[in-house]
Structure 1
Amino acid sequence: MNNGQPDPGLYEYNAYRNRPKIEWPDGKTVAVWVSPNLEYYELDPPENPIRKSWKTPAPDVTGYSHRDYANRVGHWRMAEVMEQYGFKGSVSLSVALCQHIPEVVEHANELGWEFFSHGIYNTRYSYGMSEEQERTIIEDSIKTVKNATGQDIKGWLAPALTHTPRTLDLIAEYGLTYTCDLYHDDQPMPVSVKSGKLISMPYSLEVNDHYGFFIYNMSPREYADTLIRQYERLAAEGENSGTVMCIPLHSYLIGQPHRIGPFAEVLRYIKEDGRAWITQSGDIADHYLANYSHLAGAKNDY
């Protein structure tokens, strides 16, 4: 007997092999987007009763300083390589970065990168939040990014991938059009929410550099090979119906001197292959909503 939360019915089952065809611009078979996580971690964050921010008691100097490498060094190295091969970032942003280290946000904005919210701090979790608290975070994200960059955010990735049962309904209510918090498919899918129009944007845990280096213990060369194999399969399957490949990055990892070279080779490979729509998450969402939001038997009145 299940006494937990009922299935929220966020999306309906739709077998991969029997779907109507999705077509990307210019006959491309796979939409490829790169998602740098530009984050801010607190050395001694407020305690969440459900989950600890750091492995060791505060101050966790090792954990904090490792991540601080991202904004001091890693971001700049990663961005240089991305620009070299024509990949514009879709930034999963800890919006507090706009105040703490505005130089990084300003640089990404000058490059034409897109921003969506990853919460305020990556050391503050949604677990146990009231609706009022969650609304405050969403409103703060919208306002802060607008003031810092001039952009209206379209998407959401929950801080440290933590949620409440109301998260997706709330972001749709505030006019956001995509969530990166569902990892269930290689194509966009409508999400059933109380109001607004929301789709799931294929993000990735499997080829996320955090999983590659921390969970799967890959070498830089193994991670690069994994990205190419991911790309090859999705590009081939996309001939039947367009697929999406996301490359989620953390520059304190991929921006290390010993890792950046193999990653640069991946970007060159994808660029030269010719089957990729090298794009940004907002453009994928706009294209899908304009042409395919009726697919997958969504409960929304699209």
Structure 2
Amino acid sequence: MPVQRYTTLPHHDRFPYSAIHQRSDFRWPNGARLAVYLGFNIEHFAFGEGLGANLGPVSPQPDVLNYAWREYGNRVGVWRCLELFDALNLPAGTLINTALYEHCPEVIAACVARGDELIGHGHTNAERQNGMDEATERDLLQSCRALMLQHSGVAPTGWLSPWIAETALTPDLLREAGYRYSLNWCHDDQPVAMQTRSGPIWSIPYPQELNDIPMIMGRQLDAKDFAQMLIDNFDEMLLQSQSQSLVMGIALHPYIVGQPYRLRHLRRALQHIANHRSDIWFTTPGAIAGAMDGLPQA
């Protein structure tokens, strides 16, 4: 009987396998072991076309029900969330669609006034970038960076693709456009150096489960259960981090957690985390990337 021959599986070649318990030790800037950040996604969607998260059944365009629900986040939810962050003195890594500069520039101005980090998140979440050719994707990354510099006075160092959609060249194009880190990959609890054709770029852990879209909208998790999930994850990672520095991100969208009954439960979860402020480093993704730049690289 012939022996079946197996071939090596296709690989991305961006980073090798690494077991988390076999790595060099380090600490975050304040000596803490656990870095926590808010990934606050503020988004704008085209009316009558394109993609978007849905509250109810998708209807023929114009899908007023789902569009208006998402727009609640920019008119109401974002302001309630910022009030909560202010009350707890929590910074945020704010991921923005650059279409917001035309639609509601005061929202981004409020985040800048708070001192939050602005992170590139495409021009609109009504479209994905994984269907783009190289020239189109390069233009998107460069244009978003230029618009943020023009309107907010700072060029972003980080990027999260709308719908976490990449092409095979996205890490290369990010590095070449001047970005220092990506939030697209959810494969580790520590930053990972990704190789590109122009040198390394940091992959900062971004959550796909501590994330209100897949949990609340996808799995239909109740707000109180999502809040308990944040608390449980934080408590367990705080315990794990006693022997190893880790990163915990929380992904939030104001049209979801900005709804009053959900905000009530988010308040409870963030208050619990804030009560441990002296035990952790509550920070932003850009600061995490900067801290990694300051460590000796193998």
TM-score (norm 1): 0.91
> 2:280 maps to which residue?
276
State the superposition RMSD in angstroms: 2.0
SS class of match (2:98): coil
Tell me the distance in 2 between the aligned counterparts of 1:292 and 1:184: 22
Question: Aligned in 2, Cα 1:56/1:162: closer, same or farther, shift over 3 Å?
Answer: farther
8 Å CA contact 1:123–1:160 kept in 2: the answer is no
Q: Which residues of 2 match residues 8-47 of structure 1 at below 5 A?
A: 8-45=12-49
1:208, 1:53 → 2: CA distance? 13
- d(CA) in 1 for partners of 2:138 and 2:182? 16
Partner residue in 2 for 1:242: 245
1:44 Cα offset (Å)? 2.5
Q: Is the 8 A contact 1:220 1:259 kept in 2?
A: yes
Answer yes or no: is the 8 Å Cα contact 1:53–1:123 preserved in 2: no
Alpha carbons 1:53, 1:124 under 8 Å: kept: no
Counterpart of 1:298?
Answer: none
User: Aligned residue for 2:111?
Assistant: 108
Partner SS, residue 115 of structure 1: strand
Which amino acid is the alignment partner of residue 242 of structure 2? E
Alpha-carbon distance in structure 1 between the residues aligned to 2:193 and 2:28? 17
Deviation at 1:161, TM superposition (A): 1.5
Structure-2 separation of matches of 1:226 and 1:121 = 29
Q: Alignment partner of 2:265: what SS? A: helix
Could you tell me how far 1:22 is from its partner in structure 2?
2.4
Q: Is the 8 A contact 1:45 1:123 kept in 2?
A: yes
Tell me the secondary structure at the aligned position of residue 26 of structure 1: coil
Shift of 1:2: 10
Unpaired runs of 5+ in structure 1? 295-302
1:121 to 109, 120, 124: 124
Cα shift readout 1:114-154 (whole Å, capped 9, x = no counterpart):
11111101011113211111111011111110111111201
Compute the displacement of 1:197 (Å). Answer: 3.0
**Map of 1:299 onto structure 2:** none
* CA deviation vs aligned residue, 1:7-54 (integer Å, no higher than 9, x gap): 2211111101111112112221210100110101111236xxxx8988
Residue 130 of structure 1: which of 125, 129, 133 is its match?
A: 133
Counterpart position of 2:216: 213
1:52–1:247 CA distance, 2 compared to 1 (3 A) = closer
Deviation string 1:258-279 (CA, Å, 9 cap, x unpaired) is 0112211222211212321011
Equivalenced residues, count: 289
Once the two structures are TM-superposed, the CA of residue 292 in structure 1 deviates from its matched residue by: 4.8
Aligned-partner Cα distance in 1 for 2:163–2:41: 11
Change (3 A) 1:63 1:24: same
- Give CA-to-partner distance per residue, 1:236-270, whole Å, 9 cap, x none: 11121110010110001111110112211222211
Alpha-carbon separation, structure 1, partners of 2:268 and 2:29:
25
In the alignment, what sits opposite 2:166? 163
Give the SS at the match of 1:57: coil
Question: Deviation per CA, 1:187-225, whole angstroms, max 9, x where unpaired?
Answer: 101001111430111100111011221122222211111
Could you tell me which amino acid in structure 1 is paired with residue 286 of structure 2? G
Counterpart CA distance in 1 for 2:134 and 2:208 is 27
Pick from 68, 77, 97: which aligns with 2:100? 97
Indicate whether 1:154 and 2:157 are aligned.
Answer: yes
Segments of structure 2 that go 5 or more residues without pairing to the other structure are none
> Residue 192 of structure 2 is aligned with which of 184, 189, 204?
189
Aligned to 1:297: none
Whole-Å Cα distance in 1 between the matches of residues 143 and 28 of structure 2?
34
User: Cα gap change, 1:243/1:38 in structure 2, threshold over 3 Å: closer, same or farther?
Assistant: same
- Measured in 1, the distance between the counterparts of 2:264 and 2:53 equals 31
Matched, 1:143 2:141: no
Aligned to 2:102, the other structure's residue is in SS state helix
| Percentage identity across paired residues of the two chains | 30
Do 1:33 and 1:279's aligned partners in 2 also have CA atoms closer than 8 Å?
Answer: yes
Q: CA separation in 2, counterparts of 1:2 and 1:107?
A: 56
Secondary structure of the 2:108 match is helix
Return the alpha-carbon distance in structure 2 between the equivalents of residues 53 and 242 of structure 1: 34
So what's the TM-score if we normalise by structure 2? 0.92
